[in-house]
Structure 1
Amino acid sequence: MSGTGYSNRFTFACLPRTERGQPIVLGEDPQGENFLYCHGNSVIIRNLDSPQYSDIYTQHSCQVNVAKYSPSRFYIASADKSGKVRIWDTVNKEHILKNEFQPISGPIKDLAWSADSQRIVVVGEGREKFGHVFLADTGTSNGDITGQTRPINTVDFKPSRPFRIVTGSEDNTAAVYEGPPFKFKCTKTDHTRYCQVIRYSRDGNFWASGGFDGKIFLYDGKDSELKGELSGHTGGIYGLAWDPSSRKLLSASGDKTCRLWDIETQKCITTFKMGDQVEDQQVGCLWSGQHMISVSLSGFINYLDPNNPDKPKMIIKGHNKPIPAMDLSADRKSIYTGGSDGTVTVWNAESGRSERIKGAGHGNQVVQIKTHTTGVATIGFDDTLRSVDGSAQEYTGPAQPLTAQPRSIDIKADTTAVATLKSILLMRGGSILCEESVEFEPSCLAYSTNHNHLAVGEANGHLLRIYSTHNNSLDLVKEITLSGSVMDVVYSPDQKYLCTADSNRKVTVYTAGSYDKTHSNEWGFHTAKVNSVAWSPNSMYVASGGLDTSIIIWSMELPDKHCIMRNSHEQSQVTRVAWLDNSSLVSTGQDGNTKIWNITWPN
């Protein structure tokens, strides 16, 4: 469509993918603007001051474990579990690949750049060796990482000359290397459990190591003599981060606290208590400019406040699993997203501020979310329908049990329609008006108050069934054959049209009431099944999102034209789409990201 365009306004990025007992390595921006973390095959570049702005790099073919900016800031090196390191450009939006190397033959757990941005050291779990130093331009070896007998978890480069490298291993030791070319110098055997994290101070005068034994040891930066022990944590140390002046150290621990240490006195000056649940364990931290951040086992990113250690300044919440469900609040100012792990998050569409819905939720996958006047309703794999109070942002009232696993829900005025694997229900005021058993497997449904019609799609067949809901009963009035299994169905806001999406890549619009096709031409430009369709508030545009990672915008006025937003969720299917207004669209993906798009139309 000439004149039609789109741009990404915000990306509410997925959270770090965490695993119990595994540290999360965060990457720091030399200019203090962004920070880096990994999730699945992606590297997330997230703005520190405004976390609703983020960029996502998706060029790895398997799980990425660590990403770090070069000190020059021109490049990011990211390393994955196959042992590959990709060095890519930060200046261009396309993130052009500069080099790809395979320094070791197994998962890389950490990497570090030398201060001149010329050398990279990686460590992990290779078959022949546990680490390697190489030149970033050519991949040429610049020394050997030997001398430790178990996989290496952590590494850092001394930021000043003479260059040193320190590594921490599962053989409980820290090792020191001198160079270049780098050669093994000695090991430190102060830890009694795995050494999990090692970091040099900014000025290079000290380095600190943290272990599963809950101990932090402090060493001289040049000769690696032991300078002292910082004791106080009662759980393993997962993260260490130095302040810009090299006078303080932040630690993150499995004891559900972070601590701030004064290096001169070697005393703890602040303890941040992060909660008392297992998911409040602290698995990583970063200190960038004024920002001190830590990552909880839940994936939440906490902005710590030394003046108020019991309450973070801000917590970035969200999802670190796929998002199968999404809807907007009645005023379209909030976005509700439901995860495959049962969590529901509500986002402010302007600021990106997020809250996790409180209370006992479904406990496993949220199937669909639907708005009603005072909040939203959710259905889940626990075979219940639950209600969320929109002002308190918490689940209210008892869960409504369903006779089978729910597949779809729609709410219009005071009527709720639910399709389960075995039946279709109409409800009002929490009581069931009618429940009709069905011989087919429903996949989706949509309700029209104007026509008193309920459209129900079939999962394993091509039929869309239209039921009359007069007299609070379900009477079949029409069957429509689609070109594939019905994936989604939705009435337009003015209730003049009904739009369907199917597994055969087609989006089709029907005139509501008669259910004749509105357009002679088929909308078939997706290259795989279409998961979701949505109408703009003015009923003039349709958005569709599919397995092909693309979103397509269709116009009712110009049915021959369309706009394809390719790779809108790169390497990930689009699970849901919804319009915030007539020129902005929200999409969610299997990648755990929620994106807001500006859509521009020709006048």
Structure 2
Amino acid sequence: MNIVDSLVRRTAGFESIRDYDLALYRLKCHQDDIYRGITPNPDALDFNPEPPVFACRFCPNSGYEQILALANEDGKIALQDILVKGQANQALDGTQAHRNAIFDMAWMPNEQKLVTAAGDQTARLWDVSVQEITEIDCFSAHSRSVKTVVFRPQDKAVFATGARDGAIMLWDIRASHNGQRRPDNCIMNGHVSGTKFRHRFAEESSRTQSITGLTFQDDMTLISCAAGDGMIKVWDLRKNYSVHKKEPQPKHVMQYTGGSTRNGFTSLLMDPAGIILYASCMDNNIYAYNISSYNPKPVGEYYGHENSTFYVKTCLSPDGKYLASGSSDEQAYIWKTSRPGGPLVKLSGHTKEVTCVAWCNVGELKIVTCSDDSCHRIWRIGLEHKSDNDDIEIIGRAEKVDMNLTRQSVLETTPTVSRRWIRQEHTPSDGTPASDSDQLIQNLSSGKRSRAQMLAGGAWTDGKFKNILSPIEENMEPSSKRGCVENRSARRLFSPSNSRDAEAGCSSDKTPFSPTLNLPNFVIDGTAPHLVQMSPQKCKENVDWLTKIRKERFEQKSNSDERVQSPVALVTPGRRGIRSKSAEPRRVKGPSVSLLNFFRVGRECEKDLCGEGTNSRPQRRDSVD
């Protein structure tokens, strides 16, 4: 079911990529597929007769895809072949691997080896190819519990670990530092904000900075998430973060965009194509991010489950078409990755919180779920029709989930998530009447009657009432209009469309309704209701400043005109008394010359040209003088 093999076979014409929703609807858990986890450790200080399973992984190597690895709270690991029927309702015999709980494990690519991460602050490498599980090496450098571990794709030697101390360490199995294991690269305090916060509240910061999820995008890119900072960070492993004393700087950061205070992430998953990243969040959402573009906003959201602890994990189908997750409501849910939103089916049968899930890579559809009820169940495709012994043999079934009911139940159980609602209520304010059925649905969802329904009378379920044309004017009588203000210069936000009414300062009956018509105008009134006692009240004036300046200039002009005794000024008082200097003709010093003399000079010039006299120029000068 690998996506690459499916594409190759489809190209060759042997198969086609199809969805198998119908197979998910037929998932059933029979009585002989229920197991009681792993046997407890009798020498443990806090002995638990039924320790829950915290981690389960199917082997990805070819030929061993049916091998399931389990790890429990007592630090034991066990292997199970799900194709071989074992003793139902019995615990598996395990090997004591750690002195504390095992939180995560990872299979080595193309090898029968795996690495476990436990609460004893160590990560250990195990050889499971032999009959007895044998320890190969121990990697100890963290100062708190190791929460997650992941191998680099197609690399047998390099893996990364994340712990509660906020450190991300990169290990190489081939490297030996004088006989001691040391990390090749270490990202300290990768999800800690502020040095003061770390020193003052060490215990609280250790919880929020705890590394809860790691995944490789490629050979040199590592993605991490933490328990409380609401960030997903992308690290470039070509940079040596161990030599830097300051806080490490990631290559990209994708912040939490939801509306809840529970912004921690519990696990990270990369699809087989390496494009979409799935991050399970504590706000009961699973966000899908486009890693090819590092878009900080999620491209999809999957909801419907409850994630109240950091033990709830997710997994992907081998072809990346389906997403499965545990839940705190004793169910396991499956989504279709191509359709974000509510789940497709839910697996019912456990009696406590479902923590981790695993998807088998070979053969027909098989899913394993682990729960705090100390049981792990194997879900297989059952018969399409019910048989006579189904009530006795079948303990759990897959149920189809109603999208609307799931959304409503999530709203009731998680009030902190503010971005969820059942129906987007629409109150038409553009003049289009709402239909009776839409209005009835809105009123039924809210559980209250509107004012129009009460005025119409009848039962509260009666949908026959007047249409509401505006959310403000719900069949109300027109209120008293504001008095007209003369020479008003301040305009309202919703001014009337009629220019005459706007100039007059009052609204007529033909003016369209404005929601701010009866609100106080603080520009005209001069006061604000919250500043009445703090600031003095301004003097109310109905005249704007331009009109005031024009009146002052008119008075000055009229006073100056009274002083002038010229009859022209008395006849035309409206003309401007002062002219611009640039418009006046330039004055010439000396005696004024009449225009008639210039015409005379022209006649004398014509006589001179005809040869009638030689003293014409001095005579013209005498005539001019």
TM-score, structure 2 as length reference: 0.41
Structure number with the higher strand fraction is: 1
Structure with bigger gyration radius:
2
Structure number with the higher helix fraction is: 2
